[in-house]
Structure 1
Amino acid sequence: MAAMTTAENPRDLIQSLERGFAVLLAFDADRPNPTLAELATATNLSRPAVRRILLTLQHLGYVHGDGGRWRLTPRVLSIGQHYSASHGMIEIAQPHLLRLAEKTGESASLAALDGAEVVYIARVPVRRIMSINVSIGTRVPAHATSMGRALLAWADQSEVDTVIAAGLTAHTPGTVTDPDEFRKILRTVREDGFSIVSEELEEGLVSAAAPVRDHTGKVVAALASSTSIGRSSVDAVRTEVAPLVVRTAEAISADYGHRRASKKASSVIVKPHDGFF
């Protein structure tokens, strides 16, 4: 279950709602049709508690029980639909993602930061280049991805600390796991205006990402283009793809209401806050 922030009072939280989401999130690729006992083990909740939650979710139409096993219903998808409907940026970004994918011949993605992970919120797939099946809602570690670094480079210190505290897990031999080196990389990303990550999440995977801003100038998402070492190189991604990603991210930001301070200054290069890192 999610940890509370210091600003939260335990008396203000509804534990039954937290437990309900824990049960919903326990359904995944490894447990598409779990039993009550399997859900209880996965959530560390008692079987009677999980039973009541499942019956409530079934009453609401989000799960269905059959022969002792449970499955999610299509109604669960409406939760994500409500997110998309309430975030105009996704609709704004879609044509830009399509154009970027057409220009590069590679997949284009938009993601947002959620704790120590980034979540895909929009995507135009061209080729499957990752071993995991990437779709809307897929979560990947922020520290080992170009999107995560493009988000963290302009994030508050506390958000960077959260990622480091969660552990800079090595996913390949090339994953950066040293906190000091990681912070140095984020400073470089901020100076460059974009991030390039090569073979840190998966061997053979290389991607470039740039920040997307709202009307206040706050970084709210990251745009990325991904390819494989077999089809390109880090140098080619840096010289050919990264500029396209930056310009596309700026175009999305502009359509979302962001205006550059001047024509000479890029919207993705901002003076660091005092005390940043």
Structure 2
Amino acid sequence: MAVEGGDRDYVQSLERGFAVLLAFDEDLTRPTLAELAAKTGFSRPAVRRLLLTLQRLGYVANDGSRWTLTPRVLSIAQHYTATRATIELAQPHLLRQAERTGESASLAELDGHEAVYVARVPVRRIMSINVAVGTRVPAYATSMGRVLLAWAGPETITRFLEEAEMRARTPATVTDPAELRQRLAQVREQGFSIVDGELEEGLVSAAVPVRDAGGRVVAALASSTSAGRLAPEKLVEQTVPILLETAAAISADLGYDATVLPPIRDGFY
């Protein structure tokens, strides 16, 4: 992602403040100052100053020796959602998709090397992680991540393949850059992605692109299930047509006209 300005415009204290906020996770829900210092790599005095500033702003609270996030942090996500027409327009379509498939429906966007859930209608929990809006998953090992990468552009794809850490999540995970590039080419050619057991064993998912008024792929629409409920070939046969129909409806709401700007599926980089 291109960033305007140079080093002179970079505010390191802001970066460190976000690093402290992001250090709170499912393993550190009520960390001590020492634990946050160890997690961020900052000195204890620096973390203390950052925490006191965040406390004054209302984003963290102190309970003796331990710190917690406050509900105010949710306002950041709310502001993001309020400015994203895609999410608002997609929600009723996600609900109808979930009703038709009997499976959770999700919308994701690409952020660096990860796909981030920006909207979701859950039906059942099939992953070991608790998936909610804001959950991040590796783009290389997920159907929605591969959709987002397939249409991200040649420079983004090359940079991803050079920089992303692609470790094996399961024995089926594709970690070879050349093979992943081939998989992305296939996704772009066929117009959808199927990933079987690469993020978690027994998890199979399908995803398709969502386009804006200019035809640019701005999100990936996905449906996930267990391999025991629906084999990959059945997912292609039964679920992908529903995904394509739903994605077309969302894209149309965003102003995309396929008769004017037909999807490009060949000529991969």
TM-score, L = length of structure 2: 0.96
Q: Is residue 132 from structure 1 mapped to residue 118 from structure 2 by the alignment? A: no
> Among residues 5, 9, 16, which one is paired with 2:6 in the alignment?
9
Shift of 1:158: 2.7
Tell me the equivalent position of 2:172. 174
Number of positions where the alignment pairs a residue of Structure 1 with one of Structure 2: 268
Tell me the equivalent position of 1:237. 235
Shift of 1:168: 1.9
8 Å Cα contact 2:215-2:263 kept in structure 1: no
8 Å Cα contact 1:192-1:269 kept in structure 2: no
8 Å Cα contact 1:115-1:162 kept in structure 2: no
Shift of 1:167: 2.1
Tell me the equivalent position of 1:143. 140
Quote the sequence identity (%). 64
Tell me the equivalent position of 2:45. 48
SS at match of 2:208: strand
Tell me the equivalent position of 1:36. 33
Shift of 1:238: 0.7
8 Å Cα contact 2:207-2:243 kept in structure 1: yes
8 Å Cα contact 1:34-1:69 kept in structure 2: yes
Shift of 1:257: 1.2
Tell me the equivalent position of 2:55. 58
Letter in 2 for 1:209: A
8 Å Cα contact 2:209-2:219 kept in structure 1: yes
> Among residues 183, 186, 197, which one is paired with 2:184 in the alignment?
186
Gapped regions of structure 2 (runs ≥ 5): none
User: In 1, distance between residues paired with 2:94 and 2:2?
Assistant: 35
SS at match of 2:53: helix
Q: Which moved more, 1:96-105 or 1:164-173?
A: 164-173
Tell me the equivalent position of 1:111. 108
8 Å Cα contact 1:98-1:108 kept in structure 2: yes
Q: CA RMSD in A?
A: 1.5
Tell me the equivalent position of 2:158. 161
SS at match of 1:182: helix
8 Å Cα contact 1:26-1:42 kept in structure 2: yes
SS at match of 2:223: strand
SS at match of 1:197: strand
Shift of 1:270: 4.2
Shift of 1:159: 2.1
1:6–1:63 Cα change, 3 Å: closer
SS at match of 2:257: coil
Shift of 1:261: 3.3
8 Å Cα contact 1:250-1:268 kept in structure 2: no
Gapped regions of structure 1 (runs ≥ 5): none
Shift of 1:178: 1.1
TM-score, L = length of structure 1: 0.93
Tell me the equivalent position of 2:211. 213
Q: Is residue 83 from structure 1 mapped to residue 55 from structure 2 by the alignment? A: no
* CA deviation string 1:19-68 (max 9, x = no partner): 00000000000000111111111111111111111001000100001111
1:69–1:201 Cα change, 3 Å: same
User: In 1, distance between residues paired with 2:101 and 2:164?
Assistant: 34
8 Å Cα contact 1:223-1:245 kept in structure 2: yes
Shift of 1:268: 4.0
SS at match of 1:206: strand
8 Å Cα contact 2:196-2:232 kept in structure 1: yes
User: In 1, distance between residues paired with 2:73 and 2:54?
Assistant: 10
SS at match of 1:190: helix
1:81–1:152 Cα change, 3 Å: same
